[in-house]
Structure 1
């Protein structure tokens, strides 16, 4: 789960901050410090669903701004997928929506 969460954060930050003429954002970049696998791992071990959702929501918000908000087809789909993630009430309910988010963000890179 931690790797999936880190990947979602990475793809969001890539959409938000990466440009064609710059170096790619990598997992070990300083911008990823709050979204590292270890940070998510601690939240998962604690069962802190709200903490996980808060961190992912922040990243998704940055990605949403980068793709033009919910006024665009890409933004509407990202909003729908992130709503499924936000609505999860138990740790077991996070896996399917986070996989869908990861796959979608990967596709729109």
Structure 2
């Protein structure tokens, strides 16, 4: 799960900060320091669902801004998927909405 969380964060930050002609954002980029696999791993081991959702929501918010907000079709769908992820209450329920978020973010890169 930690890898999925890191991937969602990476795709969001790529949408928010990566520009054409610049170096791509990679997993070891300093911008990823709060969203590394180890950080998410700690939150998962603690069972800190709210902490996980907070970090993902921050990244999704940046991606939403980059897409033009919730008024745009891509932004509406991202917000819908993020809402499903935010409504999860247990770690066991995180996988399905997290995979949907990852797949969507990958598709719109």
Give the unaligned 5+ runs of structure 2: none
In the TM superposition, what are the counterparts of 1:1-109 in structure 2 within 5 Å? Answer: 1-109=1-109
Alignment partners' CA distance in 1, 2:4 and 2:43:
13
TM-score computed with the length of structure 2 as normaliser = 0.99
Give the unaligned 5+ runs of structure 1: none
SS of the aligned residue for 1:22 comes to coil
How many equivalent pairs are there?
109
TM-score computed with the length of structure 1 as normaliser = 0.99
Moved over 3 A (4+): none
Alignment partners' CA distance in 2, 1:41 and 1:68:
31
Alignment partners' CA distance in 2, 1:93 and 1:77:
20
